[in-house]
Amino acid sequence: MLDPLSDIIALLRPRTVFAKAISGAGAWAVRYGDSGHPGFCAVLEGTCLLSVAGEDTVRLEAGDFVFLPATPGFAMAGFEPADPVVIDPKLAPAPAEEVRHGRADGPPDVRMMGGYFQLDSPDADLLVAQLPGLIHLRGAARLGALVAMIREEASGAAAGRDLVLDRLVEILIVEALRAVQDKGAPPGLLRGLNDPRLAAAIRRMHAEPARPWTTAALAKEAALSRSAFFDRFARTVGVPPMEYLQGWRISLAKDLLRRKTGGLAEIAERVGYGSASAFSTAFARTVGQSPRRYAQAWAG
C-alpha cells in the first residue's frame, strides 16, 4: 500500500511539459504571466533576483532550487537596471536551445535549468494546498541533479522517454515536499505526516478508506484520547479528521469516475459509503454535482 504522500502524487499523475536551460548576462529582466502549471528551477552558477507575486524578492545563488506549486506571475532579473521583457508562458513556444536574456555574447552572470509540468488530474489543490506559494531551498544538490536529468531526458528522444520523465518529475515533487515537511509546512497533510501520532492515523485512513472509521477509532490508532486527537488533528492538518477522510474519499471517487472504474454502487463501497445514495449525497455536497453528471462531463 502506498503511503499518503505517494497516494496523492499517484492520483495527480504529474508529467513533464518541458524543461529548458536559461542564462542571463549584463542588464536583463523578464516578467512571466501565470502559467497555470507547477514550475521549478535549479541555479547552476551565478546569481540573480526572483520576485514571485505575493512573496518577498529573493536572491538566487548557485545550488539553489525553486519550486512554484501554482506558478503565479513572477519576474527574474540581473543586478543592473533593465526594463523587463514580458513573456506569456501560455503562448511562448517551448525552446529547443538555451534561452539567453540580456547580453548575447560573453560568459553569463547566471545559468539555470527550469521548466514546468502539468497534472493529468484536475485536483491540483491536493498538492497546492499543502505548500507555500514559493519554495526556495539552499544547497539542494539532489534536486539540482534531478532537474539536470529531466533536462537531459526532455531534450532527447530515447526509447521510454515519456515514462522516464514522468518518474523523474514524481521524484522531484517528493524531494521538494520532503524538504518543506522538514522546514515547516503550512497546516495540511505534510504537517500531519510530520507528527508521528497523527501520521499513524492518516496512514490508516489512506490504507483503508472503505473502513467505517470514527474519530474514536482514529484516535486509538494515534494513541491519543478522542478530544486530544481531534484538537491536534484540526490544528495541524487544518480540518477535523472526519472532514479530511471525506475529502480523501471524494478525491478517490472522482479519480475512479474519471477512469470509468465500476458503477456507482461499486465505487461507493470502495471509498467507504454504505450505499450509492449516501455516496451520491456526499459527492454532490462536496463537488457541486452528482457523480453521474461528473462522470458524463469527463466522458465527453
* pLDDT of 158 higher than 60: yes
Backbone angles phi, psi at 276, to 5 degrees: -65, -35
Torsion 137-141-144-150 (CA) sign: negative
200, with CB counted inside 10 A (0-12, 13-18, 19+), is middle
CA pair distance 138, 123, nearest whole angstrom = 29
Largest Cα–Cα distance of the chain, in whole Å?
Answer: 69
3-state DSSP helix/strand/coil % of the chain, to nearest 5: 45, 20, 35
How high is the mean pLDDT of the chain?
89
Distance of CA 122 to the CA centre of its chain: 12
For the chain, residues classed under CATH 1.10.10.60 are 191-299
pLDDT score for 70: 85
- The label of the residue with cell 479530511 reads 244
Taking each helix axis as running N to C, give the angle between helix 241-258 and helix 291-299, from 0 to 180 degrees, rounded to the nearest 10: 40
For the chain, residues classed under CATH 2.60.120.280 are 4-183
**Strand 110-119 to 39-52 pairing:** antiparallel
pLDDT score for 94: 67
| Other Cβ atoms within 10 Å of 228 Cβ, number | 13
* pLDDT of 212 higher than 90: yes
pLDDT score for 48: 97
Class of domain 4-183: mainly beta
Residues 6+ apart with CB under 8 A from 145: none
Backbone angles phi, psi at 125, to 5 degrees: -65, -20
pLDDT score for 161: 87
Architecture of domain 191-299: Orthogonal Bundle (1.10)
Kindly state the DSSP code that residue 181 receives in the 8-state scheme. Answer: H
**Closest C-alpha among 289, 225, 296 to residue 260:** 296
* Residue 29 host element (H or E): strand 29-32
- The label of the residue with cell 526556495 reads 136
| Other Cβ atoms within 10 Å of 148 Cβ, number | 15
| Other Cβ atoms within 10 Å of 141 Cβ, number | 10
Contact 26, 109 (CB under 8 A): yes
Each residue's pLDDT tens digit, 252-294: 999 999 988 888 999 999 999 999 999 999 999 999 999 999 9
Distance of CA 173 to the CA centre of its chain: 6
Could you give the 3-state DSSP secondary structure of residue 238? coil
- The label of the residue with cell 518543506 reads 180
- The label of the residue with cell 538555451 reads 98
Each residue's pLDDT tens digit, 83-137: 999 988 877 666 668 899 999 999 999 999 988 888 888 888 777 777 788 889 9
Average pLDDT on 196-223 reads: 96
* pLDDT of 1 higher than 50: no
* pLDDT of 197 higher than 60: yes
Binned at pLDDT 50, 70 and 90, residue 181 comes out as low
| Other Cβ atoms within 10 Å of 274 Cβ, number | 10
Each residue's pLDDT tens digit, 4-63: 888 888 888 888 667 889 999 999 999 998 887 889 999 999 999 999 988 899 999 999
